[in-house]
Amino acid sequence: MRRMKTMRDMGEHAVIAALTANLNAAGDDCAVLPLDHEYDLVLTSDPLIQHVHFTAEAAPEQIGHKAVCRVLSDFAAMGAEPQYLLINLVAPPEQDFQTLEKIYAEFSRLWKLYGAEVVGGDLAQGPVLELHVFGVGRVPKGTALRRCGAKPGDCIYVTGPLGCAQKSGKQFTFEPRLEQGRALRESGAVTAMMDISDGLATDLRHILKASRVGADLDSSKIPILGTLEQALFDGEDFELLFTSPQAFDFPAIGNITGRTEELRLDGMPLNAKAFEHFRK
Amino acid sequence: MRRMKTMRDMGEHAVIAALTANLNAAGDDCAVLPLDHEYDLVLTSDPLIQHVHFTAEAAPEQIGHKAVCRVLSDFAAMGAEPQYLLINLVAPPEQDFQTLEKIYAEFSRLWKLYGAEVVGGDLAQGPVLELHVFGVGRVPKGTALRRCGAKPGDCIYVTGPLGCAQKSGKQFTFEPRLEQGRALRESGAVTAMMDISDGLATDLRHILKASRVGADLDSSKIPILGTLEQALFDGEDFELLFTSPQAFDFPAIGNITGRTEELRLDGMPLNAKAFEHFRK
């Protein structure tokens, strides 16, 4: 008998690709659907799971911050405006209530800062603390920034320094780049955009695949926190990564090339290496 | 030192009430938000967690069915039309892929049946199999059926028989009452509506609280699968429970009274007893 394939055998990206093959999932940070003559509807969801996305050392406010701001960062990546959040909270019976109160206080604080209001959700029992945040927002019709428009010759930009987001605690305190995302959309000059959650190298590959182009990064231009390797592979930076033929007041870290799906660093091919769920 | 309050001490409903005290959560099956001049936006989310909402004996198709149809039932309860779904899938690394394929095949089947399309979601590692389904839909402006409009003298109706939904397997095969929900909304004669997920007795209390009324149930009129106690307390029936001053071609099981939040069965007060997350 052939052994069944497990999630560990396949890895996160292969499982997502196989499961969504029959669905209309574009693979952008958010799903974009027609809403009315003025706006498109923008939808996204992100899970935050104890022992995976945070540990017992994380403060309640940090957990709440990361859960909501990961979703807000997805909206920033499309140049979209978040409006409503629904949150499924999972907790074990022995979960102390005070921690949850502090998590929800952070939701209220973020609502005042970014305008995304928690309007619903659910509460259920489970083995560990989890927050599943679902976001609803909008973007002017046909203007959402996607991963598929990068062109050879475009410059590659990031909105801030990369690396060590887990070690430095930035993963729990980052500001979602909503303002920058909106301004970049309004510029009309951005060809592709996403946020950096899995690391520059992995996430840039998503743009290369969606746009059918290649890229050459210049290591001396990448704004680094820690080492170059950390900047390329750590992830959870939640800065925006975008391409444009125009000049912008952000670090330009390389260029889009015509060599489909080939990622180079200083002219040399860069091997795949990144955190991926289920694989070690 | 005072011992910290846990989820088990407080129970699901008290925790939800405390956490959402500062939020605009109306406590209906879905959140209803302004969309445009023609429609309101309708949002809901439901978790489905192994060992809580299903066991290892459940077939993959059953798991997928229950996860999505619980959300569709929330739309039915508002008289709303579901349009889009996002699904956060949580699974342990040893999860076999074939099970997930079968779950997603059920999503595709339900999409064709009920028109709610999976447009996004996420995949993450966790201790047990979980599906968090988020639903987006709409309802003609100002017409969503809520829990707060029941009036003394209204009849209380259910759309089908109650009880034994776990034992009979109905929890995994039920048809969300979308057509009935829409027809009831279009009748213009329904004063309050919700779906029965926690059991008739518990869910009717939600209507009594939201509407500031009481109810008197007639046990001989309740359509029963199993015993009267099972019909009152089992839950997961996913039939619609609604109130109206008009006659409908559904079982009329009692009347709304002016005795605020008092639930009677055959004229005698009915004590609270129901499944509640975190309490045993």
B100 CB neighbours in chain A (<8 A) are: 7, 15, 19
**pLDDT 10s digits, A48-102:** 999 999 998 999 999 999 999 999 999 999 999 999 999 999 999 999 999 999 9
Inter-helix orientation angle B178-187/B60-78, to 10°: 0
What ipTM did this prediction achieve?
A: 0.92
Run of H or E residues at B182: helix B178-187
Mutation pick from B29, B43, B111 vs chain A, by most beta carbons of A within 10 Å, is B43
Is residue B86 scored above 50 in pLDDT? yes
Cβ–Cβ under 8 Å, residues A213 and A258: yes
Place of tokens 């809580």: B52
Q: What is the pLDDT of residue B275?
A: 47
Q: Is residue B24 pLDDT above 90, yes or no?
A: no
Contacts of B95 in chain A (CB under 8 A): 6-7
Residue that wins the pLDDT comparison between A10 and B130: B130
φ and ψ of A181, to 5 deg: -60, -45
Over residues B133-158, mean pLDDT: 97
Query: What are the percentages of helix, strand and coil residues in chain B, rounded to 5?
Result: 30, 30, 40
E-strand stretches of B93-234? 117-125, 130-140, 155-158, 192-195, 214-217
- A119 with B43: Cβ contact below 8 A: yes
E strand or H helix at B7, and its extent? helix B7-10
| Token pair listed for B4 | 């910290």
E-strand ranges in chain A read 31-34, 39-49, 81-91, 117-125, 130-140, 155-158, 192-195, 214-217, 240-244, 252-257, 263-265, 268-269
Q: What is the pTM of this model?
A: 0.93
Residue B212 CA from chain centroid, whole number: 20
Closest CA to A99 of A134, A148, A44, A50: A50
Q: Which of the four pLDDT bands, split at 50, 70 and 90, describes residue B23?
A: low
The separation between the first and the last C-alpha atoms of chain A, rounded to the nearest angstrom, is 26
Cross-sheet strand order for the sheet of A240-244? A192-195, A240-244, A155-158, A252-257, A214-217, A263-265, A268-269
- DSSP summary character for residue A36: S
pLDDT on residue B213? 98
Residue-wise pLDDT for A1-60, tens only, equals 456 788 888 887 788 778 877 665 567 889 999 998 999 999 999 999 999 999 989 999
Nearest residue, CB atoms, A49 vs list B120, B121, B124: B124
Mean pLDDT in residue range B96-124: 94
Give which of A48, A119, A131 to mutate to test B binding, by max B Cβ within 10 Å: A119
Q: What is the spatial distance between Cα B202 and Cα B180, in angstroms, rounded to a whole number?
A: 22
Locate all alpha helices (DSSP H) within A133-227, ordered by sequence.
165-168, 170-173, 178-187, 200-211
Query: What average pLDDT is seen over chain B?
Result: 92
pLDDT of residue B190: 98
pLDDT tens by residue, A227-241: 999 999 999 999 999
Q: Is pLDDT above 80 for A139? A: yes
Residue with tokens 């009831």: B184
Which residue in B182, B92, B73 sits closest to A52, CA to CA?
B92
Structural contact between residues B215 and B208, judged by C-beta atoms closer than 8 angstroms:
yes
Write phi, then psi, for A237 (nearest 5 degrees): -75, -35
| Beta-carbon contacts of residue A221 (< 8 Å; ≥ 6 apart) | A251, A252, A253, A254
Q: Rounded to a whole number, what is the distance in angstroms from the first to the last CA of chain B? A: 26
How confident is the model at residue B9, as a pLDDT? 86
Per CB-CB distance under 8 Å, the chain B contacts of A119 are 23-25, 31, 33, 43
Q: B interface mutation test: which of A23, A103, A138 has the most B CBs within 10 A?
A: A23
Answer positive or negative: Cα dihedral of B228, B234, B237, B241. positive
B242 forms bridges with which residues in the sheet? B157, B193
Q: How confident is the model at residue A280 (pLDDT cuts 50, 70, 90)?
A: very low
- Residue B280: pLDDT over 50: no
Question: How far apart are the CA of B266 and the nearest CA of chain A, in angstroms?
Answer: 33
**pLDDT above 70: residue B277:** no
Separation of alpha carbons A24 and B84, rounded Å = 11
Whole-number pLDDT of residue B147: 96
- Please work out, in degrees rounded to the nearest 5, the angle formed at the alpha carbon of residue B11 by the alpha carbons of B9 and B14: 110
Interchain pair B97, A24: CB under 8 A: no
Closest by Cβ to A93, choosing from B6, B31, B86: B6
Q: Is residue B274 scored above 80 in pLDDT?
A: no
Q: Do B125 and A97 touch (CB under 8 A)?
A: no
Mean pLDDT (whole number) for B208-225:
97
Mean pLDDT, residues B19-44: 84
The pLDDT value recorded for residue B3 is: 67
Instruction: Give the distance from residue A236's alpha carbon to the nearest chain B alpha carbon, in angstroms.
Output: 15
Q: Kindly report which listed range (A181-195, A260-274, B72-86, B248-262) carries the lowest average pLDDT score.
A: A260-274
Is residue B269 predicted with pLDDT exceeding 60? yes
Contacts of B53 in chain A (CB under 8 A): 124
What does the pLDDT read at residue B26?
Answer: 62
